[in-house]
Every structure is written in structure tokens, then in C-alpha cells.
Structure 1
Amino acid sequence: MTAFTELMAFQRDTEALAQIAGRLGWDQETMMPHGAALQRGDEMAAIEAVIHARRTDPRLGEWLAKAEAPDPEGARMLELTTRSYTRARCIPERLAAELARLTSLSHGIWAEARAQGDVAHFLPTLRQVVALRREQAQAWAEGTAATTAYDALLEEYEPETTAADIAAIFDRMRPRLVALRERILGSSVRPAKLGGEFGHDGQLRLARKMAEAFGYDFTRGRLDLAVHPFSSGSGSDVRITTRVMESDPFNCLYSTIHEVGHATYEQKIAPAFALTPLGQGVSMGVHESQSRIYENQLGRSAAFTSWIFGQMRAEYGDLSCEDARAFHAAVNRVEPGFIRTEADEVHYNLHIMMRFDLERALIAGDLDVADLEEAWNARFLNDFGVAVDRPQHGMLQDVHWSAGLFGYFPTYSLGNVYAGCLMQALRADLPDLDASLAKGDPSPATDWLAEKVQRHGGLHAPRAVITAACGTAPSEGPLLDYLEAKFAEIYAL
């Protein structure tokens, strides 16, 4: 066996163990009995210790020094393995295991605090999570080329992108988003909400229809319920979750479409890449580009919502929206709201900008965990003009910080930017797309995305994937142009 072959055989088992760890996390958020939390924390710590030991095994360094790539795919595998090995060696096994144990426990404590609206119940655990992530980030910053501790965290989710890059994008986006919001809120047009009660079972039936329409393969996945919807896994086992609110079916339907975007990305990666360094989405920004384009540019389009309107009438009878046009407007209502996952497309990135600034301050030590709620509420009032009425609508709404996912939030907006670029290119290539969407068939678009983005997995760097698919380097312009055109029509601007 060559050094390359030995290295990839070793990495295959490491990737398999990482998938098992992910399955434990999926179970914790969907089916695990409440009383198992402490034991699950120990289990997560144990498996993370094994994975970390493999990722820092001295033989990796020996193999990497000797390995010769047989082809460009092999060269990319060596590049990604070297990056993983370099980062893993910065972190002691004790820290890796403790982070896995604590974030497993922290999830349950956050869920309890969220249910009770009790920030104080969560703060001691969050303080520990922040301390460990700061330690990890500093170790990465010292052992890699990262400029700051926060950049070292961001590198985990979006390689080749820094906080300065994100801040510059946000500085360019904010004025146009705020101006668009003000024009919309000043309009005399006021689309009505969809009113009524929509039964649990009916919503799940519709959610499955949405998933199937967007190409989710249920023979290699499943749909379950979770407090905070997510997608988990890769290759032949990719699972999604959603949630049901009987007064708001859009929450369920669009959470499902969003997670299907993530899941189909993983399902459509070239099978030969399974359990290799190329076998997962290349970055969270590219991942979010798939979930956001499925959810928004496709799923909230006038053509596709006309089909959803018919499906909902078949399930629930007459709706409060009198026709497909009013239904489309209801789906795309713009109003300042507390919850990020329920935010309209105009406000969504403003939610992310707020979280980006707060978590950077936490990691830098400029904001103490004890002051986070006050800082959140003050910033929300300033940005959205509404006072947070309860913790579930404030700092307890998102699962990310309990899981230690600092650096993840900005990838949502980066995904929106990438999605804007992809949709511009996709529309140019598929001028008759709306005719298919109106029939509940997004497959021309999803096939285009599978060919241009999804099948490549981790083969190309994030921005290179988007540039190759679109023919130009990514920028925020297409997203902002799309938003302004869409909402000008809905609100008669």
C-alpha cells in the first residue's frame, strides 16, 4: 500500500466515527429520553476523545510527508487532511473531550431554560462553554494562520473567510436592507396573515410533500420533530427535522424546505466521495446557499407558492387568503419580528448582523456572559424598533451558543449572498423555470444545483464553487437586487 492509500483508509474510519458521533447528536435532539442527558454527555466525550486521538495520530504526519496524490481529487484530499491535522494538533485531548461533554449537557440545560424563560438557569453553563471555546480559539489562532481567535472559529465553518471579510459585506448590505425595510413599512399595502388553525398531522403530510418535491430521498433519510430544526449526516444517512405550530404552518413547511436544502446537498455528493475528506459540503456558507435558495428564491416564489396554496386547500379546505396572489403575499409578509428562523427575507440578515457582533464581543472578552441578555435586548430595540418581551424571543431562541457554535451565524448571511448569485445564474440558464415551479416541480432548479454545486462536495474551495457555478466571483449585489425587485412588486413600491 502507498502512503496515500494507507492515509485514506485510516481517514475513512475516522470519518465513519464522526458520522456515528453526529448520529448521537441527532438522537439527543429527537428521541433521547430526558433522563439520559448526563450519560450522553459522557458518551459524547468518550467518542470525541477517540476521534481526536485519530485526528492527531503521529502516523498522519508521516503519511502526509510521504503521500503523493494520484490525481487532482487526491491532491484536494491531502490538502483537507493536512488542514484538519494541523488544527487538531493545536487542541489537547482534554479540551476536545470536555467541549464534547459540556456542549452535550448544555443543549439540555438551554432547552430547559428556553421552556421556562429563565436566562439565569442557562448562564453558568454558557459561561463555561464560552470559556472553553475561547481556549480552543486561542489555541487555533496560535497554531495556524488565523489573525484573531474569532477568525480561528470562523475557519471551522467557512475556510478562507475572516471576520473582516464578513464585516465588510455587512457594511455594504445594511444601508440597502434598512432603506428597503423603511420603504416597505411606509407602504400602504399591508398583506394579511394566514389565519386559522392547521392540524399537526396535516402539516407533517404537507412537509413530506415539500421534501419529496425538492428531491429529498426518504430511502436514505427521515423526517422527525425537534425544538430547533436541523439536518444531520451525509452520504446514505441524512436526516432532517422540523417543528409544528398549529397557528403557523409556514414555520413547519419552510423549516422543512430549508433543511431539505442542506440534506439534498449531502445526498447528492458524488458517491465515490463517501467517507473521504471530500464527502461533505465544503463549507457552511455553501451549505446555507442551498438551504436558503430552496427555502426563499424557489420556495417563496410566486410560482411555487401558487402550488402550495392548492396543496393547503386540499389539506385544510378554504383558507383566509382568497387567492394565490394573496397567499404569496402572506408567505412573504415583512414585519419586525423577534425570531430569526421566522424572519422575512428583508429582516433576516439584520438578525444575523446582530448575532455576529455579539458573539465576536463574547469571544474577544469585550462582552461578559452576564451582560449578554442586556446587550441583546438593547441591540434588538435599536435595530428592530421593538422591545424584547421575553427571553424565548431574545437570547434563548437559538441553539447555536449552547452547542458552542461561535462563528456559525455569519455563514447564514454568506449563504444568502451565495444564493443570490446562484439564482441569478440559474434563472439565466432556465428561463422557463416558473412553469415547472407552478406545477410543484423544482427539479430543473435542483438538478442545476446538484450539477453545479452539490455533486462536488468538498472538492473545490467555497468561493471557487460559487464562482465556477455563476461565472463571476460572489458579491452581495444579486441578493440585494433580488430582494428589492421582489418586495417592490409585493408592496407596490
Structure 2
Amino acid sequence: MTAFEDLMVFQRDTQALTEIAGRLGWDQETMMPEGAGPQRAEELAAIEKMLHARRIDPKVGAWLDEIEAGKLDDVSAAQIREIKRAQTRAQKVPVELSSAIARATSVAQGKWADARAKDDFAAFRPVLKEIVSLRREEAAAIAGDGDLYDALLDDYEPGASGQDIQTMFDAMRPRLVSLRDATLGASHQPEKLVGTYPAKKQMNLSKKLTDKFGYDLTYGRIDKAVHPFSSGSGLDVRITTRTNEQDPFNCFYSTIHEVGHACYEQNVDRSYLLTPIGRGASMGVHESQSRIYENQLGRSRAFTDWLYRQMENKFDHGCAGDADAFYGTVNRLEKGYIRTEADEVQYNLHVMLRFDLERRLISGQLDVADLEEAWNALFEADFGYRIDRSSNGVLQDVHWAVGLFGYFPTYSLGNVYAGCLHDALRADLPDLDANLARGNATYATAWLKEKVQQHGALFAPQEVIETATGKQVSVEPLLSYLEAKFSEIYRL
């Protein structure tokens, strides 16, 4: 066997162990017995220690030294790029630190869920302080003389920087705030959804939605969790959603969002299975799939026409006056605290708040002891009203509990990427709305599979989007789409 072949055999086992760790995480959030948390933390720490050892194994370096880069094809070169990237990062982080982060974040998930249920940030504060400290230590090991936050951000969006994100947000914020104020102050306001929608019926329709968007349940499943998420890759990709009997849209659009993530992983070229490029290119590109599934497709006038008919048949009472009114109801703007429930206009404003706070936490400019006060002050300044309880504020997201610092801005990057993809998709698919109105979202998702998903991590993140669209990444398509859509709905 050649050095490349030996390396890929070794890497296959590394990727398999990574998938096992992911499955343990899925189980922890869905089915694990309540008292199993401490043991699960040790299990995940042990696997992380093993993974870390494999990433820095001297054999990997020896194989890499033997491989002649100039003789590799594009796929093999991408595999080597990702292996080197993981190796370089792992070599900078002590194994005990890596294991400690895995252990602490596993324990923290249960403590966060309990604190959130009790609206008690004080109970969670010591745990979060430990996680911030560990992640700052990790960032310092990776960054050297560089920026700590950039070191963490690079784990989710290779090549991006905090300054890049800040520049993007500076371009987006004025137009988003202006559009929000215009819609909330408009004389025409869409109806609010009323009534009770039984959870079992919501889940039945959610399963139908997974099929309409191309999620293959032969290789997946849908469960319920406190915070919806997608987990896995290749032949085992699972999603979760949640139900609220007064708000079925929460269930339906959480499901469609997670299906976007899951379809990306299911549709990666099968020849890349259990290899470094057999997954999404970045979290920003991942979010582009979940957001375009959820918003540009799932909240479109055409698809909501189909969803309106489904809800009229599924539930015992009407959900809006007619399909036009229902479209407005689905896309209705209103004041709210929760990022995952936010409309398209206000969603990125929620992300900007988190980006500002976590960047300050990692830089040391903000202490965890002052985090809730800082969150509440920034929210009031950005949204104009006060947080009423911790679960609607600093405790609403699981991300910091599991150590995902640098992850939040990828949500907005995903929205920007989705805006670019949506422009190109509509140009290529003139019959898009006719298909969506019949509930046929796979007409669009097949385009996304061909242009984005099948490639996995073969290309760098921005290269994925620019290759798919033929244009440079820009915030303009997203902002223009939002301004046109909501001006029509609100008759501005």
C-alpha cells in the first residue's frame, strides 16, 4: 500500500470514532437516562482523548511526509488538506485540555437544561465560567500571538475572522433595523396564528415535511429535544424538533431547518464516506442549506400555499382566512426573545448580539459574572424592550454550554450564503414556484445537492458558494430578497 492509502485507512477509523462520539451526544440530548450524565461525561472524555492521540500520532506525520503532493488529484489533495489542518490544530492543544473540555461540556448540558427550566442563571454561572476558561486556554494554545476568538471561529468557518464578521454585520444592521421598524410600524399587519394544534398531529405533519424536502428516513430518524439539532453524517444522520401546541410553526420550521442540515450530510458523495471531506465544508455552508430550506423555500408564497392546505386538512379548525393570509401569518414579524423562533428580518440581529458578547468573553473584556447583565442591556438597546426571564435571555441557547464559541456568526454567514444561492437557484429553475405549490421541494433541493451538497468539504467554504453561483459572496442578495418580500407582505 502507498503512504496515502495507509493514511486513509487510519483516517477511516478516526472518522468512525468521531461519529461514535456524535452518536453519544445525540443520545444525551434525546434518550439518555437523567442520572447518566456523569458517566457519559467520562465516556466522551475518553473518546476525545483517543481521537486527540490519533490526530497527533507520529505515523500520520510520517505518511504525510512520504506523500508527493504534486501527484495527487483534487479529491486526494483535499483529503490531505483537511488531515493536515486537524493535525496542526491538535498538536497545539494538550491532550488533557482536550479531554477536560469534552468532560466539562458534557456535564454542562444537563446543568444548562436544569438551570433553563428553573430560570436560574446563577446556578449555571460557575459551570459556564469553567467552560469559558477552558476554551480561552485552548484558543491561546492554537492562536499563539494571534486573536483568540479567530482561533475558535476557524474551527467552524475556516478562513474567516472576527473582523470579517464585524464588517459583514456593519453592512447588514442598518438595513435590517430599518426594515424591522417599517414592518412593525406598518398599518397592515398579518394575522397571528390562534388555536391549539395537538403535538401528535404536528409530528405527523413534520414527518411528511421531511419527505417533501428529500430527507431519507432509511438513513435517519426524527425525535424531540429541548433544542432542535441535526447529528451524524453519511448513512446515519438524525434530526430532532420540538412541539408547542400553540405554535405549530415552531415544530414545522425547526424540522425543515434541521432537514436542510441532514440532507447536506446524506447527499455528500458516498465515496467520501468516513473521510475528512465526507461532511459539510463549514458551519456557514451548512447553515446556508438549513436556512434556504427553511426560509427561501419553506416560507415562500408557493410552498406555504401547499402547507396551508395540509394544515386545513390535518387540524380541526382553520388556521387563517385563506392562503394569502396564511402566507402573511407564516412570515409575521412580532416582538420576541427567542432566536430560533425569530422571523427572517430579526434573526440576524439576535446573532449579532451573541457574536458581540462571546467575542468579549473570549477576549477577556467581559466576565461570566457580568454576562447576564450585559446580555439584557444589549438586548434592550437592540430590540427596545427588556428581557423578562433568563430562559428568554442568556439561558435560551445550548451553544455556550457545549463550548461552541465562534459558532454563532456562522448562522448569519449561512443566511448570506443562502441569499446568494437563492438568486442562482431561481435563475436556473424557472418552474420553482409551480413545484413548491405542489409540495415538491425536491425540485429545488436536487439543485442544491448537485451544486453544493455532493461535494462535502472538497472545496473551501466561500469557494463552494462562488462555484455554485458563479458570483462572489455578497450580503446584497439576502438584503434585497428580504426588502422585497416583506415590503410586499406588509404593503410598505
TM-score in terms of structure 1 length: 0.99
* SS of match in other structure, 2:232: strand
Provide the rounded CA distance (Å) in 2 between the counterparts of 1:317 and 1:434.
28
Query: 1:317 deviation in Å?
Result: 3.1
Equivalence for 1:333: 332
Equivalence for 1:157: 156
Q: Which amino acid aligns with 2:92?
A: C
Equivalence for 2:405: 406
Residue ranges of structure 2 left out of the alignment (5+ in a row):
none
Provide the rounded CA distance (Å) in 1 between the counterparts of 2:419 and 2:208.
25
Single out whichever of 225-234 and 311-320 deviates more from structure 2. Answer: 311-320
4+ aligned runs moved over 2 Å, structure 1: none
Query: 1:335 deviation in Å?
Result: 1.7
Provide the rounded CA distance (Å) in 2 between the counterparts of 1:72 and 1:191.
51
Provide the rounded CA distance (Å) in 2 between the counterparts of 1:265 and 1:185.
35
**Structure 2 residue 204 is the aligned partner of structure 1 residue 205:** yes
Equivalence for 2:451: 452
Residue ranges of structure 1 left out of the alignment (5+ in a row):
none
Do 1:216 and 1:264's aligned partners in 2 also have CA atoms closer than 8 Å?
A: yes
Q: Which amino acid aligns with 2:441?
A: P
Provide the rounded CA distance (Å) in 2 between the counterparts of 1:91 and 1:158.
19
Q: Which amino acid aligns with 1:385?
A: G
Q: Which amino acid aligns with 1:238?
A: V
Do 1:159 and 1:462's aligned partners in 2 also have CA atoms closer than 8 Å?
A: yes
* SS of match in other structure, 2:287: helix
Query: 1:147 deviation in Å?
Result: 3.1
Do 1:3 and 1:68's aligned partners in 2 also have CA atoms closer than 8 Å?
A: no
Alignment of 1:85-164 (within 5 A): 85-142=87-144, 147-164=146-163
Provide the rounded CA distance (Å) in 1 between the counterparts of 2:474 and 2:21.
35
Provide the rounded CA distance (Å) in 2 between the counterparts of 1:467 and 1:46.
40
Do 2:312 and 2:319's aligned partners in 1 also have CA atoms closer than 8 Å?
A: no
* SS of match in other structure, 1:261: helix
Equivalence for 1:477: 476
Do 1:141 and 1:148's aligned partners in 2 also have CA atoms closer than 8 Å?
A: yes
* SS of match in other structure, 2:447: helix
Q: Which amino acid aligns with 1:85?
A: Q
**Structure 2 residue 300 is the aligned partner of structure 1 residue 301:** yes
User: Number of residue pairs matched?
Assistant: 490
Query: 1:441 deviation in Å?
Result: 0.4
Do 2:311 and 2:319's aligned partners in 1 also have CA atoms closer than 8 Å?
A: no
Deviations 1:119-167 (A, max 9, x none): 111000000000000000111101xxx8301000000000011111000
Equivalence for 2:55: 55
Do 1:336 and 1:347's aligned partners in 2 also have CA atoms closer than 8 Å?
A: no
Provide the rounded CA distance (Å) in 2 between the counterparts of 1:250 and 1:346.
17
Equivalence for 1:396: 395
Provide the rounded CA distance (Å) in 2 between the counterparts of 1:91 and 1:160.
19
Provide the rounded CA distance (Å) in 2 between the counterparts of 1:47 and 1:451.
35
Provide the rounded CA distance (Å) in 1 between the counterparts of 2:5 and 2:286.
29
Equivalence for 1:490: 489
Provide the rounded CA distance (Å) in 2 between the counterparts of 1:71 and 1:187.
56
Provide the rounded CA distance (Å) in 1 between the counterparts of 2:325 and 2:449.
32
Query: 1:192 deviation in Å?
Result: 1.3
Alignment of 1:161-200 (within 5 A): 161-200=160-199
* SS of match in other structure, 1:407: coil
Deviations 1:17-76 (A, max 9, x none): 000000000000000000000000011101111111101111111111111354111011
Equivalence for 1:312: 311
Do 1:126 and 1:369's aligned partners in 2 also have CA atoms closer than 8 Å?
A: yes
Alignment of 1:267-286 (within 5 A): 267-286=266-285
Q: Which amino acid aligns with 1:68?
A: E
Give the root-mean-square deviation of aligned CA atoms: 0.8
Equivalence for 2:16: 16
Provide the rounded CA distance (Å) in 2 between the counterparts of 1:320 and 1:232.
32
Q: Percent identity?
A: 62
**Structure 2 residue 55 is the aligned partner of structure 1 residue 37:** no
* SS of match in other structure, 1:157: coil
Do 2:302 and 2:433's aligned partners in 1 also have CA atoms closer than 8 Å?
A: yes
Alpha carbons of structure 1 residues 320 and 266: separation in structure 2 relative to 1, 3 Å: closer
